Structures are given as C-alpha cells and as structure tokens.
C-alpha cells in the first residue's frame, strides 16, 4: 500500500504493485511499472513506463480495465512527469 520503487541503474526495473504505489525509472534504458489501484509511474528520457487501470471492487478483486506502456520520448510522454491511466489513456498527476 502506497509503496514506492525506483530503477536508477542501467536497464533497471521498478515495480510498484500495491494500491496507490509509485514507480520511477531514472537509470538509462530502465522501466517503471505500476499495477495497483491508482498507481503512477514516471521516467527519464529514453526509459519506459507501464501502467494498469483497475475498476471497482467486484467482490473478489479490482479487475483490470486497461494496461498501457510507452517510451518517455519528451513529446507524448514527458520526462520527470508522473502519469496514471484513466480511460485507457495516460494522464499527468501530481508527484
């Protein structure tokens, strides 16, 4: 719950699997993955982010509604900016 993970080394991976978790990738060619409820991810230029959007509790789980990955290119996905997934699209959020 509200965990944080950071990949700072070359080709590292950071994974935040808990609810409201945050993952960042600042090492060269690294990836940040956030798969819990309202997770967020950010990366440096050339890194990748991967996010999962979850629905409401269905009595057993918070079902996956969508998942999306992208490379931080400086245009579509900005370096050093936190993102979450809403309606299957990346949305900027506060850090």
- Tokens 């931080």 identify what position? 72
Predicted TM-score of the model (pTM) = 0.92
pLDDT of residue 5: 86
Backbone angles phi, psi at 56, to 5 degrees: -75, 155
Task: Give the sheet arrangement for strand 48-54, strand by strand.
Answer: 13-16, 31-34, 48-54, 64-71
What string of pLDDT tens digits covers the 95 residues of the chain?
677 888 888 889 999 998 999 999 999 999 999 999 999 999 999 999 999 999 999 999 999 999 999 999 999 999 999 999 999 999 999 87
pLDDT at 14: 92
């Amino acid at each position: 719950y509200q965990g944080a993970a950071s990949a700072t080394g070359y080709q590292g991976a950071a994974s935040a699997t808990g609810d409201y978790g945050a993952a960042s990738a600042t090492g060269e060619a690294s990836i940040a993955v956030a798969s819990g409820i309202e997770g967020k991810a950010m990366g440096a230029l050339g890194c990748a982010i991967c996010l999962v959007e979850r629905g409401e509790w269905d009595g057993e789980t918070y079902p996956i509604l969508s998942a999306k990955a992208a490379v931080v290119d400086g245009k579509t996905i900005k370096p050093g900016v936190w993102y979450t997934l809403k309606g299957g699209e990346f949305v900027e959020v506060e850090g």
